[in-house]
C-alpha cells in the first residue's frame, strides 16, 4: 500500500497515476548522460565465432549445453511471481517435462543471443511492484519504498546461465580481486571479517593504527555506466560477442509500476 505522496508543489498525490509518476522520478532520477568511452585504445579480443565449438577470446566461451539449460530450469524458485508476460517457472518445467524438443530449442535460441550479441527487447521489460520499507518515519517520500522488478522468466533463465558462466570463467582466469568476497563460491561474509580482523591484529602488533572506512552506495546497480562496463570487459579479454550481448542487455530497458490494481505504461 502506497500512502499519499508529497508533490514538488507541496501538495499530496492521492491517485495511483500521480503516485506512479512521483515514484518513478524519485526512485530512478534522471542522470547526466555520460558519453561513450573511447574504445580505440582497447583492442577487441580475437575470437572464432561458433556456438557449437565455443567463442574464442583470451577467455574462451563455449556454447550452452542442453543439460546446462535443463538443470538451470530445474533449480528455479517455485512460487516466484512472473514478469509482464505472466509465464511462471512452473510453466517452463511443465513444458520441459512434456516436450522433449523444448530444451534443445532454448539452447539454440540462447546460444544465438550470444552469437549475435543481442538481448531480445521483450526480455528487457519488467513490472515493478512497490513495497514499504519498514520503520520509516515518513511514507510520503519515494525513498520510503523499495521497488521490486518482476522480469519475464525466459529472460531470467538466460541471465542466470550467463551469470553462472561469467562467474565460473572469472574465477578460473583470476579476473576478480582476491579482496572481493561478495557473490563468490566458497566465500562468505565471515571470511571477509576474519581477514579484516587478522589485518588489524597484525598491524597492532607492529604498533600501527588502523582506520576502517565503509561506504554504502545508493542505487549501485542503477548507477552502472554501460560504456565503462563494456570497456572493462574488453580489457579483461571477454569475447566480443559476449561483450556486445552485455551492451545490449543494459540498453533500452523499460518497466511499468504496479500500485494495487493500477499498472502504469511501460517506460
DSSP letter string, the chain? -PPPEE-TTSSEE-SHHHHHHHHHHHHSPPPPPPPPP--TTSPPPP----TTT-B-SSS-BPPPPHHHHHHHHHTSPTTPPP-TT---HHHHHHHHHH-TTHHHHHHHHHHHHHHTT---GGGGEEEEEEEEPTT-S-TTSGGGEEEEEEE-HHHHHHHHHHHHHHHHHHHHTT-S-TT--TT-TT--HHHHHHHHHHHHHHHHHTT----------TTTTTT--HHHHHHHHHHHT--HHHHHHHHHHHSS-EEEEEETTEEPPP-
Q: Where are the domains of the chain?
A: 5-217+240-263
What is the pTM assigned to this prediction?
A: 0.84
Whether residue 111 has pLDDT greater than 60: yes
Q: Which of 35, 36, 32, 31 lies closest to 231 in space, CA to CA?
A: 36
Q: How far is CA 243 from the centre of its chain?
A: 15
Whether residue 100 has pLDDT greater than 70: yes
Q: Which of 80, 99, 54, 97 lies closest to 160 in space, CA to CA?
A: 80
pLDDT digits (tens, 9 = 90+) for 126-148: 999 999 999 999 999 999 999 99
Which has the higher per-residue pLDDT, 183 or 257? 257
pLDDT digits (tens, 9 = 90+) for 217-251: 877 777 788 889 999 999 999 999 999 999 999 99
Whether residue 32 has pLDDT greater than 80: no
Confidence of residue 216 (pLDDT cuts 50, 70, 90): confident
Amino acid at each position: 500500500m502506497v500512502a499519499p505522496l508529497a508533490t514538488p508543489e507541496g501538495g499530496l498525490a492521492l491517485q495511483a497515476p500521480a503516485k506512479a509518476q512521483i515514484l518513478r522520478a524519485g526512485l530512478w532520477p534522471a542522470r547526466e548522460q555520460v558519453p561513450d568511452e573511447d574504445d580505440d585504445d582497447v583492442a577487441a579480443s580475437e575470437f572464432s565465432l561458433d556456438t557449437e565449438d565455443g567463442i574464442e577470446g583470451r577467455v574462451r566461451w563455449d556454447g550452452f549445453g542442453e543439460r546446462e539449460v535443463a538443470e538451470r530450469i530445474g533449480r528455479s524458485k517455485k512460487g516466484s511471481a512472473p514478469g509482464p508476460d505472466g509465464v511462471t517457472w512452473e510453466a517452463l518445467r511443465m513444458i520441459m517435462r512434456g516436450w522433449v524438443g523444448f530444451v534443445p530449442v532454448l539452447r539454440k535460441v540462447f546460444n544465438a543471443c550470444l552469437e549475435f550479441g543481442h538481448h531480445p527487447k521483450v526480455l528487457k521489460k519488467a513490472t515493478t511492484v512497490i513495497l514499504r520499507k519498514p520503520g520509516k518515519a515518513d511514507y510520503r517520500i519515494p525513498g520510503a519504498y523499495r521497488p521490486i522488478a518482476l522480469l519475464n522468466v525466459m529472460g531470467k533463465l538466460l541471465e542466470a546461465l550467463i551469470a553462472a558462466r561469467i562467474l565460473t570463467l572469472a574465477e578460473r582466469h583470476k579476473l576478480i580481486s582476491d579482496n572481493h568476497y561478495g557473490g563468490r563460491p566458497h566465500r562468505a561474509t565471515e571470511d571477509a571479517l576474519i581477514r579484516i580482523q587478522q589485518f588489524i591484529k597484525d598491524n597492532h602488533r607492529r604498533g600501527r593504527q588502523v582506520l576502517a572506512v565503509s561506504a554504502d552506495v545508493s542505487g549501485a546497480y542503477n548507477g552502472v555506466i554501460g560504456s565503462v562496463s563494456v570497456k572493462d570487459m574488453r580489457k579483461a579479454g571477454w569475447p566480443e560477442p559476449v561483450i556486445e550481448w552485455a551492451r545490449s542487455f543494459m540498453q533500452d530497458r523499460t518497466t511499468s509500476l504496479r500500485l494495487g490494481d493500477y499498472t502504469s505504461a511501460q517506460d
